[in-house]
Structure 1
Amino acid sequence: MTDSDSLQDTIPVFCTAPISKEILDEFFTRSLGAPELEGVDWIAVLVDTLDVEAITKPTRAPVGKPASYPFHGWGIEDIVKFSREHLDPVRQGIVSEHLVILDEQTMEDKTCLLVTLKEGREPEGERLTVRADFRSSLVLLNLKSLGVGGDGHFEVIDPDGVIKLR
């Protein structure tokens, strides 16, 4: 396994609705293709199974259409709880505090939900939940995950309520 196939510090991506293969491909292409992430296309993983031990490498486009959507209909708090209980950054490498959720709205406007802990909070603490365009999603969560970006990056929202890095 090369470093680019390691799950170390990968951000989990959950689908709470049946997301088409085309939208999944576009999400991973646009989010991993952001100039800020040049050369680090290993930082995201589609969590499409309840058996997280079966996840062995990062996700890149083209993405195979999931055979099932085990998180279909789950709420944000359900996803957060699952992540906290089943994802272990030490054992699997997948971070549990910073999440991307592709939901029903994703299919309509190609945006996603970003869920992250507020600065200085414990794992069970208060979370930030914002909607972002695909390009901005992994850049913002990677900044938080690495500890080089704070909550301020999640406050610059366009008039349509979506964060878009320029």
Structure 2
Amino acid sequence: MLQRTDVQVSAGTEGDLAALTDIYNHYVRETPVTFDIDPITPDDRRPWLLSHPEDGPHRLLVARSTEGGQVVGYATSSPYRPKAAYATSVETSIYLAPGAGGRGIGSLLYAALFEALAGEDVHRAYAGVALPNEASIRIHERFGFRQVGVFHEVGRKFDAYHDVAWLEKRLH
């Protein structure tokens, strides 16, 4: 069984695109944690990948198994909103491959992400968590996020309305 000691974290690359898309599409098809309704293709996902360079405030970090290099999860920091005054804020997220949760891999990814962001001009990190999602709330709280509000019934997926909790973390 894969544990956090069996993975390495590094910047995501073009070669990871298919695996990253597969992980994301699992959540699109099977869960309400993302509000995308239809699975996407790697070509659809390429602009997202390219918007996360190896340095700067918008990062994509990938967890790969040390044996075989299989992608088992990823964490991102992305622009919070497009207007210039939001430039020092990021929105963060974690996605793990099915079966990879509960093994410390998400914590390993977030630790690496926040370490990378420590040298950047980023003041706050935000996370939107579709509810219910106790695991996501727990990891965000473990990393110092605090809930600041809930958007009630903001998204409809699988014929049900879902709330989204918003959490924030001060970085600098």
Shorter-chain TM-score tier: 0.3 to 0.5
The two structures have a TM-score, normalised by structure 1, of 0.33
Answer 1 or 2: which has greater strand percent. 2
Structure number with higher relative contact order (C-alpha < 8 Å, ≥ 6 residues apart)? 1
Rg larger in 1 or in 2? 2
The two structures have a TM-score, normalised by structure 2, of 0.32
